[in-house]
Every structure is written in structure tokens, then in C-alpha cells.
Amino acid sequence: MKQRLIPYDLLADIALTYIPNPIAKIVLLEIARYSNSSGECFPSRETLSDGSGIAVRTVVRAIQWLEKEGLIRVRHRHGTSNFYIITSMEEEMTEDTRANLAHEGVIYLDTNSNRKNKSYRANLARPMDTPMFLAFWQAYPRRIGKGAARTAFARSLSFADGNSIVQAAIAYAAHCTEMKIEQKFIPHPTTWLNTERWEDDLATEEAKPTSGWGNVEL
């Protein structure tokens, strides 16, 4: 299949996210390499095996683990490769996008009935939708990957006061506006949190150019 370019932040976010299954994490990174900007792709198991250097049988087990833990959704298709959705990107999708994909035959399953059987990731992420996190989410200048950001925010509270993080996000948003930084060059909130960017000295930062892969912030 033809590989499509995606924002580099997705790979960085996955790399910085704690996943207690290293083999599954490698496979998830490989899936992300083929994903579009909504986190969707359909590489074959053999393609994932070749790219990751992991045996096909082990790749299959890793995919099953990732699906069980809620890190990906899988549309199983007979006679062709499966369709994968990286769940941290789902919340960025609009209803129009979902409608268009549904028209193309991509089905999104309603997981409400499975909420009693939450995975470790869901148990970690969902309770963190606190007023403090919501304040951060509203303040941050690029709202994408809310689930992963929620988990990263909770982890960040071990290193910094929540109010300090929110105030830093507000200041960073103002900085982006002042410097006229395009959305695509603003790091995902998960990346910003995982790299402790709330400690940045914004006064020393210069305006970033507005084109070219080499200018993507991480």
C-alpha cells in the first residue's frame, strides 16, 4: 500500500506514552507510520512484520493486545488486510469525517456497552477528566488526542502543580498567537506535557518558519 505522510507528533506521542508491553508498542509505532492524519490505516500483517522486524505471529498477538487495551480499534476484514484506527486520534474526528468514512464502509463500533470491562488504559485515562484537566484542555492552543493528553496530564501532576501547568498553557497559547505559529507546528498536548514544556522560557523562543518538515516542534 502507498504510505501517506502524517504529522510527526503522533509518532512522538506514542513513543513518549507509557505502554507496558514493549512488543505491542513497537507494532503500534509501525501502524502509526502508515496512518493518515486521523490515525487510520490498513497495512497487512506481513507489512507490519517486515517494518518492525517482529514475526507475523507475534505481530498478530500484539495487535490483539492493543485492541483489548483500547489503544487501537480494528475492523476485521476477510480476504484483505484489517483496518486500524489509533484511538488517541479519534476524538479529533468531526461528524462529517465519520459520515464520509461510514459511506466508504468504515464502521466505528459503539463501545458504551463495554465500559464495565475497562482496560488499564481506560481506567487510567477516564477518571482524569477533572476540572483542572479541562482548564488545561481549553487553554492549550491545539486540541488533539484528548485521551492521551488526559493521561499525560495526570502523570504530569507528579512533577508540577496543576495550576502552574494550566497557566503555562495559557501563556504558551498567547505566545503562539503573538508569534503567528501555525497549528501544524504546535506540538500535540501530549508531547507538550510529556516533555515538560511548561518549564520553557518563552521569552527566548524565536518565531518558527511556517513550512518544511525540519520545522516541526516536538
Please check whether residue 89 is in contact with residue 145, taking contact to mean a CB–CB distance below 8 angstroms. yes
Instruction: Read off the pTM.
Output: 0.50
In the numeric block, the cell 510529556 is attached to: 194
Chain segment 87-135, per-residue pLDDT in tens: 877 654 444 444 444 444 443 433 333 433 444 444 443 444 677 888 8
Answer whether residue 90 is part of any domain. Answer: yes
Answer whether residue 115 is part of any domain. Answer: no
Same domain, 98 and 174: no
Residue 37: which CATH number?
Answer: 1.10.10.10
pLDDT at position 175, please?
93
Answer whether residue 114 is part of any domain. Answer: no
Domain count, the chain: 2
Same domain, 155 and 102: no
Distances in Å between the alpha carbon of 48 and those of 51, 66, 125, 142, 146? 5, 14, 27, 30, 26
Same domain, 12 and 105: yes
Please check whether residue 172 is in contact with residue 192, taking contact to mean a CB–CB distance below 8 angstroms. yes
Q: Identify the domain containing residue 53 by its residue range.
A: 8-109
Chain segment 162-191, per-residue pLDDT in tens: 889 999 999 999 999 999 999 889 999 999
Query: In 3D, which of 97, 182, 82 has the Cα closest to residue 141?
Result: 182
